[in-house]
Amino acid sequence: MATRSLWRIRGKLAVAATALLTGGAAATVATSEDPATALKLCTAVPTRLYRDTVTAAFIAFDYEYSLWGLSEGSVERAKVKHEVHLRSAQKLQELCFKNGGIYIKLGQHLGQLEYLIPEEYVQTMRESMLNKCPVSSYDQVCEVFKKELGEGPDKIFEEFDPVPIASASLAQVHVARTHDGQKVAVKVQHTHMTDTATADRATVELIVNTLHRELDFLVEAKNSEKCLENFRKLSPHIAEYVYAPTVHWNLSTSKLLTMEFMDGAHVNDVKTVRKLGIQPSEVATLVSQAFAEMIFRHGFVHCDPHAANLIVRPLPSGKRSILGKRKPQLVLLDHGLYKELDFTTRFNYAALWKALIFSDANAIKENSVKLGAGEDLYALFAAILTMKPWNRIIDPSVDHLVIKGDDSERSERQMYASQFFPQISELLRRLPRVILLMLKTNDCLRSVNSCLLQGSSVETFFIIGKVSSKAVVEAKKLQRKSLLSRLDVLLEEILLEFRLLGMQIALDFIFFLSAVQMLEGALDTD
């Protein structure tokens, strides 16, 4: 009886949603200046929403029915729950591929959330979303070329490989060679993207508000150049270690982008990174430095730093060390999704991270409230940012925020997330969209660190603490006008340097102890 009732409710929801949107669709087509495009939109939205509703209902029913009567903590329940997680993840994967477009982006992001959602979802999304995205046919690629540049790729390039080397949710990449012999990567937008992006606006409004930027490749090209310019001007100490492919402007339009071809290893391909003579720990340090500078000092942030968008190669100007090791250079790809942080947001976010690193409970609360978390949910906001419970966040030990990456810690985080799900939903509703994008960026970087380090390290948090603290001091210098207030900031800067020095000494001591333990282990083995 309960089963039939659930299926009836699911059916009613789907039919009601479809009817509602179909009624609005007729009016949209009738009043549109472009009826053909409007018709595509109005047939896409109900279909996609119907799929969403059916999938959600199926997953909810599967959990409810399959786990019914199984006692909490039993071996049988754990086995059945694993099977339901796997089925539900596959259903969600199927939905993402059917709807395409922004749903692929959502699936990619789920693949970064190993600290929050069950492993079955993470593995299913991670294995499929980065490597098995929809592919446009060569005829469709030629259609884009002719529309954008007037001729097919065979005329514009000396060589053009019709088989893409990579495909993502919005576009795919082909290898080509220009008439003057340069090897280039050509990014071609999927021909269906304009229609699906418009349809997704009705169903996934939050993320698609930033999608229109990603659909204009000229914006992406300008973003890449602005990003490097910021490093040259504001972070010259690491500018040499961060790179973006050179844009061929004469062969680029809003739907077609031609760039320098980049060789290297994806940041999560630890085996290949090592083969290049690069230490994974140095890559993790560089990624942390680069994004800390972008977030806290530049205020112009690459918000899609998943593994497929980060390439590592040996520093072109660098030489091998005595031990044969090479310095890494981080190559940033896919500059479609950037976010600018206004001065106040950047200052408050930097102050929050400074407080998190130095376990300052009062400053954590003050800056969380300023960013929109509220007096009641500031501790939860801090927990989401760090993936640590409040008692660990305010623990004064140097390694209080380090994520171990073991199963017990992961299970604890997932339990914490499920226990506070209503509060998490309320927090995400409150936070400004720019902070939601920072959370997404944070998740991606955490996932990258996890691949490189099997967790995180004290070094990572030392870098975040150092850059965020200096950004706070720089911001205060700009705000203070009087001589007395400037002296206050100078004193704060001096105290900060001592604090960072103490943290560095503690960090060096931890590394020293680790080295001694490794040496003792080697001697014991002998």
Q: Give the integer Cα–Cα distance in Å for 315 and 460.
A: 21
Per-residue DSSP letter, 302: E
- Amino acid letter at 225? E
Q: Give the integer Cα–Cα distance in Å for 426 and 197.
A: 27
Coil vs helix vs strand at 18: helix
Contacts 24+ apart (CB under 8 A), 125-130: 125/89, 125/92, 125/93, 125/96, 128/93, 128/97, 129/93, 129/96, 129/104, 130/306, 130/307, 130/308
Contacts 24+ apart (CB under 8 A), 486-495: none
Tokens in use for 44?
């896409």
Dihedral, CA atoms, 438, 440, 446, 448, nearest 10 degrees?
-120
Q: What Cα–Cα distance (Å) separates residue 128 from each residue in 67, 101, 325?
A: 27, 15, 33
E strand intervals along 161-225: 166-167, 171-177, 183-189
Q: What is the CA radius of gyration of the chain?
A: 25
Tokens in use for 155?
């005329």
CA 489 from chain centre, in angstroms, equals 34
Specify whether the CB–CB gap between 289 and 237 falls below 8 A.
no
Specify whether the CB–CB gap between 191 and 96 falls below 8 A.
no
Specify whether the CB–CB gap between 434 and 339 falls below 8 A.
yes
Dihedral, CA atoms, 39, 44, 47, 49, nearest 10 degrees?
-120
Q: Give the integer Cα–Cα distance in Å for 384 and 445.
A: 14
Q: Give the integer Cα–Cα distance in Å for 466 and 476.
A: 16
Specify whether the CB–CB gap between 141 and 190 falls below 8 A.
no
Catalytic residue (one of 200, 304, 334, 443): 304
Clarify whether 154 is annotated catalytic. no
- DSSP secondary structure, 212-233, as one string: HHHT-HHHHHHHHHHHHHHHHH
Strand partners, 175: 185
* Catalytic residue list: 304
